[in-house]
Structure 1
């Protein structure tokens, strides 16, 4: 029986010492368990994705030194094969580097493979830095089993829709017993099911079992959920590692089947997995934990308006960092409702979060006098509304600067889409937690937070009050926007389209088709599409947001600012 160690770890881009120490410690752990092979993930030495750091010679030199350290450490475990991901120089024509998989044993590289399929869609831009590997199989005999290797995207083209090359074919021709795939696959809604279905079909098609090892953790906008798995040609997915946490598991392999290390049957994973709200909660919580930790922040600060967006942001921040590390500030103005303060107080009491009050009425009045004195025109309308948001944003940044807390912006995807936010006001911040959640999803996740806690965390009044920016008398979001349950369907259809899960796309498509049957519906849809286009300049200047969906704002949706369309 072949003994496999699955090392699903949380790496940081550029932390060569930390990444190297984690890899070596798990090599030791695998060797102590008498494993034949320890499998790590894609670009684990440098972290995924390093971007243009790959053009920095010092960065590349550190990667080489880290590899040398790992190879030296492997001499302490001479019978163990360690499969790792790193950067290698290209000796031929093309880009200077390869995205490489190395199999290391007793201080030597015993197999080397270069990723053939380099994604350039969505959030990926690997062809910017890497040259594809040759269309050949890389294999290695270990304990009487012939192993074949691939890297992440190499396994996503078995239906041959996106690339001319299908690396599965070379591995099948090489008659391998097992494919080992190392990955850095970020998660989004539906991604787990997509992975399982894709690789189950490929395993059945080629009659080959496959071990898929993924990394875990947050890196900038991306979150990697781990969820490493094993799949066979006849039983589909037979093993899955933990989701959203590091994991180390031992598997047996014989006769094209995976077993527990003692040879007993594995417990088949639940095909359904997490509910969408629970997945979303865990994705955001892990994303914030790692973003704050990697950027050196221990505390966060949030402007508390008494509304649903700031309430959910505060609740998620508490889950990620603890109540003692979350600060809320309420900043009432002349147009703030009584509930904007009282609901903030109740929320923070429920969460044991420190709440400060910093009224802005006098500041707004002072600005208004100064504006009229300087420009001989009263401050009114949208200018006055935006001023309030910008004063609040300035106060929050003052707190951030003074006390070293990371400011979390509170905009949701619906508002960010149509520009229902103030540049240099409520868009201020270092990170957005709910910027990839539509407004209807904000409500759903808020209700889930309460339900999971078994008590009222987010006050009922916050869940039921009509959404309002409270920047003008009796203002409601629906004064200038369709109801959110309608707006969100338009936005999903326009922004994500067929990238949506099938049932979501069908619902959005049906809604839009109904709209298009009437002149009023056509005008409403056209207006919303125009608002999305006109507000690209705001999104370009907004803080990064934690990605939850297949197409999030940021690197996942690259649109021109100056365009006529």
Structure 2
């Protein structure tokens, strides 16, 4: 029986010492468990994705030194094969580097493979830095089994829709017994099911079992969910590692089947996985934890308006960092309802979060007076509304600067899409937690937070009162926008389209088709699409948001600002 160690770890871009220590310590665990092969993830030495750090000679030199340290450590376990991902120089024509998989044993590289399929869609831009590997199989004999290797995207083209090359074919021709795939596959809604379905189909097609090892953790906008798995031609997915946390597992492999290390049968994973709200909660919580830790923040600060967006942001921040590390500030103006303060107080009491009050009435009046004196014109309308948001944003940044807390912005995807936000006001911040959630999903996740807690975390009044920016008398979001259950369907159809899960796309498509049957519906659609286009300049200047869906604002949606379309 071949004994495999699955090392699903949380790496940080550029943390060569930390990444190397993690790899070496888990090599030791694998050797202690008498594993034949220890499998790590894609670009684990330098972290995924380093971007233009790959053009920094010092960065590349550190990657080489880290590899040398790992190879030296492997001599302590001469019978263990360690499969890792790293950067290698391209000795031929083309881009300077390869995205490489190395198999190391007893201080030597015993197999070397270069990723053939380099994604350039969505959030990926690997062809910017890497040259594809040759269209050949890389194999290695270990304990009487012939192993073949691939890296992440190499396994996503078995139907040959996106690339001319299909690495599965070369591995089939090489008659390998097992494919080992190392990955840095970011998580989004439906991604787990997509991975399982695609690899189960490919494995059945080629009659080749496969071990898929993924990384875990947050890196900027991206979150990696781990969920490494093993799949066989006859049984499909037979093993799955933990989701959203590090994991280390020992597996046996013989006669095209995976087993526990003692030969016992594995319990087949539940195909349903997490509910969408629970998935979303865990994705955002892990994303914030790692973003704050990697950027050196221990505390966060949030502007608490008494509305649903800030309430959910505060609740998620508490789950990620603890109540003692979350600060809320309420900043009432002359247009704030009594509930904007009282609901903030109740929310923070429920969460045991410290709430500061910083009224802005006098500041608004001073600005208005100064404006009229300088420009001989009263401050009114949208300018006055935006001023209030900008004063609040300035106060929040003052707190961030003074006390070293990361400011979390509270905009949701519906509002960000149509520009229903104030640049240099409520868009201020270092990270957005709910910027990839449509408004209807904000409500759904808020209800889930309460349900999972078994008590009222987010107050009932916050969940039931009509949404309002409270920047003008009796203002409601619906004064400027369609109801959110309608707006969200338009936006899903326009922004994500067929990237949506099939049932979501069908619902959005049906809604839009019905809307376009009337002149009023056509005008409504045209107005919303125009708002999305006109507000690209705001999104370009907004803070990063934690990605939850297949297409999020940021690197995953690249649109021009100045365009006539």
Residues 4-27 of structure 1: CA distance to partner in whole angstroms, max 9, x if unpaired?
Answer: 000000000000000000000000
Q: Deviations over 1:411-444 (max 9, x none)?
A: 0000000000000000000000000000000000
Partners of 1:480 and 1:207 in 2: CA distance: 57
Superposition pairs of residues 416-495 of structure 1, within 5 angstroms: 416-495=416-495
Instruction: Write the distance in 2 (CA, Å) between the matches of 1:459 and 1:564.
Output: 44
Which secondary structure does the structure 2 equivalent of 1:491 belong to? helix
For residue 356 of structure 1, report the CA deviation from its aligned partner.
0.1
**Structure 1 residue 451, shift from structure 2 partner:** 0.0
Distance in 2, matches of 1:200 and 1:47, equals 27
Distance in 1, Cα, partners of 2:208 & 2:146: 12
The alpha-carbon deviation at position 408 of structure 1 amounts to 0.0
- Shift of residue 120 of structure 1? 0.0
**Distance between the aligned counterparts of 1:35 and 1:59, measured in 2?**
32
Name the SS for the 2:523 alignment partner.
Answer: helix
TM-superposed deviation, 1:256: 0.3
Q: 1:158: Cα distance to partner?
A: 0.1
Task: Give secondary structure in 1 for the equivalent of 2:313.
Answer: helix
Q: Structure 2 length as normaliser, TM-score?
A: 1.00
Structure 1 position 399, deviation (Å): 0.1
Q: Report the CA distance between 1:515 and its aligned residue.
A: 0.5
Q: CA deviation at 1:562?
A: 0.1
Q: Distance in 2 between matches of 1:523 and 1:382?
A: 23
Residues in 2 aligned to 1:125 and 1:111: alpha-carbon distance in whole angstroms: 26
Q: Give the 3-state SS of the residue equivalent to 1:461 in structure 2.
A: helix
Offset at residue 85 of structure 1 (A) = 0.0
Distance 1:515 1:443 in 2: 24
Which digits, 9 at most, give the CA deviation of each residue in 1:386-428, with x for residues without a partner? 0000000000000000000000000000000000000000000
Shift of residue 459 of structure 1? 0.0
Cα deviation digits, residues 229-257 of structure 1 (max 9, x gap): 00000000000000000000000000000
* TM-score, normalisation: structure 1: 1.00
Cα distance in 2 between the residues matched to 1:230 and 1:33:
19
Cα shift readout 1:62-104 (whole Å, capped 9, x = no counterpart): 0000000000000000000000000000000000000000000
Counterpart residue number, 1:402: 402
Residue by residue over 1:180-228, the C-alpha shift from the partner in whole angstroms, topping out at 9 and shown as x without a partner, is 0000000000000000000000000000000000000000000000000
Tell me how far 1:112 sits from its aligned partner: 0.1
* Deviation, structure 1 residue 154: 0.1
The Cα of 1:141 is off from its aligned counterpart by 0.1
CA drift at 1:285: 0.0
Q: How much does 1:338 deviate?
A: 0.2
Deviation, structure 1 residue 264: 0.6
Name the Cα RMSD after superposition.
0.1
Q: For 1:251, what is the secondary structure of its paired residue?
A: strand
Partner Cα separation in structure 1 for residue 267 and residue 328 of structure 2: 44
Q: By how many angstroms is 1:349 displaced?
A: 0.1
Shift of 1:334: 0.3
The Cα of 1:548 is off from its aligned counterpart by 0.0
* Deviation >6 Å, runs of 4+: none
Residue-by-residue CA offset, 1:464-519 (whole Å, 9 max, x unaligned): 00000000000000001000000000000000000000000000000000001000
* 2-structure distance, mates of 1:264, 1:69: 36
Shift of 1:357: 0.0
Secondary structure at the aligned position of 1:179 is classed as strand
SS in 2 for 1:159: coil
How many corresponding residue pairs?
A: 565
Q: How does 1:384-403 map to 2 (within 5 A)?
A: 384-403=384-403
Q: Deviations over 1:257-281 (max 9, x none)?
A: 0000000100000000000000000
Pairwise CA distance, 1:287: 0.0
Q: How far 1:556 sits from its partner (Å)?
A: 0.3
Question: Equivalences for 1:267-278 in 2 at 5 Å?
Answer: 267-278=267-278
Structure 1 residues without counterparts, runs of 5 or longer: none
The structural deviation recorded for 1:559 is 0.1
User: How far does residue 39 in structure 1 lie from its aligned partner after superposition?
Assistant: 0.1
How far apart in 1 are the matches of 2:366 and 2:561? 34
Instruction: Work out the CA distance in 2 between the residues paired with 1:390 and 1:375.
Output: 19
